[in-house]
Amino acid sequence: MLYSYQVRDKLGNKMEGYLEAENHQAVINYLLQKHFFILDLHEEKLNSSIWFKSVAKSSSNKVKIRDLSSFMRQLATMLSTGLPMIKCFEVLAAQTSNIQLRKTAAKIEASLKTGLSLHEAMAIHDKVFSPIFISMIRAGELGGSLTAILLRIAEQVERENQINNKVKSASVYPTIITIVAIVVIVFILAFILPSFMKSFSVSGTELPFFTALLLGVGNFIKDNLALLLFITGGLIIGFVTWGKTSSGRLSIDRVYLQLPWVGNVIKKVEVARFTRLLGLLISSGVPILAAFQVLEGVVGNQVIASAIKEVSERIKEGHSIAGPLNKTGLFEPMVTQMISIGEETGTLESMLGRLASFYETEVNYAVDSLMSVIEPLLIIIVALVIGAIIIAIYLPVFNLVTTMGI
């Protein structure tokens, strides 16, 4: 639970901040141990907390990847000059452009003043900072390499931003084409086709089977448009709700991995992310088992996340990484073989870095290849459907002309 507090220190300075604890008494005990005089202490409810509200505000207040990368770089730069940690966050709270990050920096500053370490203060804001980064920062604090680790985090954030932008930009065009095509086809079937066929129904001309079939579909859509929209909306809401459950998300992610072309891209993205993050965690001094346990919660695809969890259990029993990873069947032989070599030669960190670089390049090639197939395929399908509708519209005309002998 998250608690908000106001206290005074021995010198009478007023301070405020947030603490995460199991109960109210635990916070009191902690603050008293720090010799603070408690002015106010209350639990922040999920539906009323300023902190949670600020996270859920409009997209202009959300923390963008670019902003987070800049935040980490600025923090690393200031720490490298010898500026005290609290002063660093005071500066960040004053000059950071993103509103959400500015508020977060101010709250971290307040938490640091109460004696929390940096990773403890950041862990409170898990909607902003990934568990991966919290673990790396914790290791950096223990190992005395915090500045270098913050720079690695910034680089990783930028790297992930590039991959995400590549995948998102590739999916935008097909999505727009598909939505526009569906709207146009429904409009033609429900409104254009029936209007065009009225003259033939008045003249008593018998419509060809294909035209009559499409006309029946169009009339059905037009007569039941509100009901169809309601059902479609309900199905979408139901599917999204189901997709947020553990079983639903696992099922959907399993289907994604089995899709032609798309499944291959998803695998490459997840392998690139997995190897890069595992390498970063290990190089930061995080133990291998702890690194796997952190990765379980940050891998996007739940099928792969479940596989990582299984590997984590095998490592806990004393197994190596490569063997259990190979048994999942989700990682290519090259991945498991290079990891095996890295484990045997003590170059695991280096091998993971090479694998990550290779698969990040493969993601770019795979996305480009996928788009080179999907774009013309979509255009052909849309052209065929609209062409079939046009033929259905003009078939009665051709039949009439043939009948009249013109």
pLDDT one-digit tens code per residue, 238-278: 999 998 888 888 899 899 888 888 888 888 888 888 888 88
Instruction: Return the percentage of the chain with pLDDT > 70, whole number.
Output: 88
pLDDT > 90 fraction of the chain, expressed in percent and rounded: 8
Number of H helices, E strands in the chain: 18, 3
Give residue 368's identity as a one-letter amino acid code.
Answer: D
* pLDDT category of residue 354 using cuts at 50, 70 and 90: very high
Judge whether residue 151 has pLDDT over 90. no
AA identity, residue 38: I
Give yes or no for residue 52 having a pLDDT over 50.
Answer: no
Pairing of strands 14-20, 2-8: antiparallel
Q: Is the pLDDT reported for residue 59 higher than 60?
A: no
> In 10 A of CB 218, how many CB atoms?
23
Of 41-55, 254-268, 277-291, least confident by mean pLDDT is 41-55
Q: What average pLDDT does the structure give for the chain?
A: 81
Helix (H) or strand (E) holding 238: helix 225-243
Q: Phi-psi region for residue 43, left (φ > 0), alpha (ψ -120 to 50) or beta? A: beta
pLDDT value at residue 193: 82
pLDDT at 404 > cutoff 70: no
The predicted structure's pLDDT at residue 341: 92
Residues 6+ apart with CB under 8 A from 159: 276, 360
Question: 82 φ, ψ to 5°?
Answer: 95, 5
Angle at 311 between CA 367 and CA 264, to 5 degrees: 15
pLDDT, one tens digit per residue, over 194-215 is: 887 776 665 566 778 888 888 8
Segment 86-111, tens digit of pLDDT = 999 989 888 888 888 888 899 888 88
Report the pLDDT averaged over residues 308-325: 88
Q: Is 99 helix (H, G, I), strand (E, B) or coil?
A: helix
Contacts of 323 (CB under 8 A, 6+ apart): 314, 336, 340
**pLDDT for position 339:** 92
Least confident stretch, 6-15, 106-115, 152-161: 6-15
Give the Cβ contact number of residue 223 at 10 Å: 11
Per-residue model confidence (pLDDT) at position 204: 62
* Residue pLDDT, tens place only, 334-348: 999 999 999 899 898
pTM of the model: 0.68
Q: For the ranges 164-168, 335-339, 402-406, which has the lowest average pLDDT? A: 402-406
Q: How far apart are CA 87 and CA 79, in angstroms?
A: 10
CA atoms of 88 and 251, how far apart (whole Å):
45
Pairwise CA distance, residues 203 & 404, whole Å: 14
When mean pLDDT is compared across 4-13, 49-58, 153-162, 273-282, the lowest value belongs to: 49-58
